[in-house]
Amino acid sequence: MKSTGIVRKVDELGRIVLPIEMRRTLDIGEKDALEIYVEGSSVILKKYKPSCIFCDSAKDITTFKGKNVCPKCLKELKNL
């Protein structure tokens, strides 16, 4: 993990502000979704990209009953 040297305090509502330079570098815009991961005592934020629940592909995702499925896996499911 690489340190940025940036320190931010959590406000009374549990929020932090990501500096604009960091958001620009990571292509994070207003209203973009971020996934939150925990690894040991670390919190990791990652820009959310929907992916297939079966093969993890992120190309041409379709949502079926709240689950993300790619065209290839959807075709395989239809052939069952």
Closest CA to 69 of 79, 80, 56: 56
* Number of compact structural domains in the chain: 2
Tell whether 10 and 40 lie within a shared domain. Answer: yes
Tell whether 37 and 59 lie within a shared domain. Answer: no
**Residues 1-21 as b or e (16 or more Cβ within 10 Å = b):** eeeeeeeeeeeeeeeeeeeee
Tell whether 16 and 41 lie within a shared domain. Answer: yes
The range of the structural domain enclosing residue 75 comes to 50-80
Tell whether 37 and 3 lie within a shared domain. Answer: yes
Q: What is the pTM of this model?
A: 0.63
Q: Say if residue 4's pLDDT is above 90.
A: no
Tokens of 30: 């207003």
DSSP notation for 23-57: HHHTT--TT--EEEEEETTEEEEEE-----TTT--
Q: Say if residue 57's pLDDT is above 90.
A: yes
Q: Say if residue 15's pLDDT is above 90.
A: yes
3-state secondary structure of 75: helix
